[in-house]
Amino acid sequence: MRTPDFTLTAGPTMSSQKVLAALGRQITFDYDPVFLDLFRDTERLLAQAFRTDGDVVLMQGEAVLGLEAAARGLVREGMRCLNLVSGVYAAWFGEWMRAYGGDVHEVRVPYDEALDPELVASALREQGPFELVAMVHSETPSGVENPLAEIGPIVHEHGAMLLADVVSALAGTDVRIDEWHVDLAVAGPQKCLAGPPGMSLIAISERAWAAMEANPSAPRGSFLSLLDWKHRWIDGGREAFPYTPSVSDVNGVHAALSEALEAGIEATIARHAAAARAVRAGVQAMGLSLWPKRSEYAANCVTATRLPAGVGTDALLTHVRNRYGVMLSGGYGELKHELVRLGHMGPASRSLNPLVAVCALGRGLIDLGANVDIGAGAAATMEVLSQASAEA
């Protein structure tokens, strides 16, 4: 089977030539001065992308590893935690907090809605105090973005630490770790940064480090240990790794971060926002409904779309992949068969890729017997893309 011509998915997504070239570079010794410099420079670029003056850790292993490491490092037996759940990944994170002994309370909204800062404030007021609050910034499975900018300061005011899954948010929407008082954030390189899958990009505040140091059950001497990174790499003057880094992945992440920052983080975010607006306009003009109830909180990374009655997600994805060489995503977790997701991250947000996504979906649905107005969808998508590129 051929590789698809267009990977317009919920991640991993297509990478640029620059990232691909970096991934293909000769493998170096991890203590070669060239690699050590590149590793330190990758940390510097990541801190810039996160807008933090605090520490960052580049852990290898997909972003789920970083999230698990964060949960195990921070959560203690009996710790009062508040989990803010608006989607699949937040629910998953809550399971970890419970598994590591947390006394977990929840604020829950339906998966097609965003978290309401007022609800969060009243939970903190009425059920608090909490030591740790956890949330997902951009819920990729449902294409919903939560207002981290508003929730961060509320959590801070109530004295709790804040952990945020920003895996698909970084470079796709505004992420401000220091300004919003986020104590621990985990991002993934294979979403809006369009780098290789296989690393966790983590920001950690002094307060979060102190909580881990004070936690007797935080992993130590383990692949899952954030503290090993602090003790060996950071406190040791950034000269000794706790274990051998994935040299090629780090090269790829360095290239991806450089590209996003050279274009400018604002311009990179604006490009993702425009692609998302274009796809939303196209999908709706075709006669389909978005999964999120309101487009104001639809995410910039993917557009989650409800399917017309009678068309199954799996049949649609297979058909579009086979006939047009376009790979789209279905739902994930509890939403697996409920919706289709059109990804617009990294190169997938450039040029006419949003049009390809909308037309592949539209024509795929027509081929399978549904009635959508593909012409209206294409025109609406192009209208947004045209205006956005004229303004850029």
Ligand X SMILES: *Cc1c(COP(=O)(O)O)cnc(C)c1O
Residues at the contact surface with ligand X, assessed by CB under 6 A: 11, 62-64, 89, 136, 138, 140, 165, 167-168, 188, 191, 197
Determine phi and psi for 160, rounding to 5 degrees.
Answer: -90, 160
CB of 209 to ligand X, least distance (A): 22
Return the number of the residue (166 or 372) whose C-beta is nearest ligand X: 166
Q: Is 305 helix (H, G, I), strand (E, B) or coil?
A: strand
**Shortest distance in whole angstroms from residue 122 CB to ligand X:** 25
Q: Which is nearer to ligand X, 52 or 140 (CB)?
A: 140
Q: Specify the residue, 132 or 286, whose C-beta has the smaller distance to ligand X.
A: 132
Nearer to ligand X, 286 or 299 (CB): 299
Closer of 13 and 205 to ligand X (Cβ): 13
Return d(Cα 297, Cα 170) in angstroms, integer.
Answer: 16
Least separation in angstroms between residue 261's CB and ligand X is 21
How many Å separate Cα 351 from the centre of its chain? 22
Please name every residue paired with 60 in a beta bridge, in sequence order, or none if there are none.
199
Q: Which is nearer to ligand X, 195 or 242 (CB)?
A: 195
**Smallest gap from residue 8 Cβ to ligand X (A):** 15
How do 6-7 and 326-327 pair as beta strands? parallel
- What are the structure tokens assigned to 83, written together? 């989990």
CA pair distance 232, 242, nearest whole angstrom: 6
Q: What residues have CB less than 8 Å from 10, skipping those under 6 apart?
A: 140, 141, 168, 301, 302, 329, 332, 341, 343
Q: Residue 189 CB, nearest distance to ligand X (Å)?
A: 8
Contact 106, 130 (CB under 8 A): no
Least distance to ligand X, CB of residue 200, Å: 7
- Edge-to-edge strand ranges of the sheet holding 339-343: 302-306, 339-343, 329-330
Identify which of residues 47 and 65 has a Cβ nearer to ligand X in the complex. 65
To ligand X, the closest distance from the beta carbon of 165 in angstroms equals: 5
The CA distance from 380 to 375, in Å, is 9
Give the separation between CA 157 and CA 153, rounded to whole angstroms. Answer: 6
Closest by CA to 334, choosing from 25, 70, 85, 164, is: 85
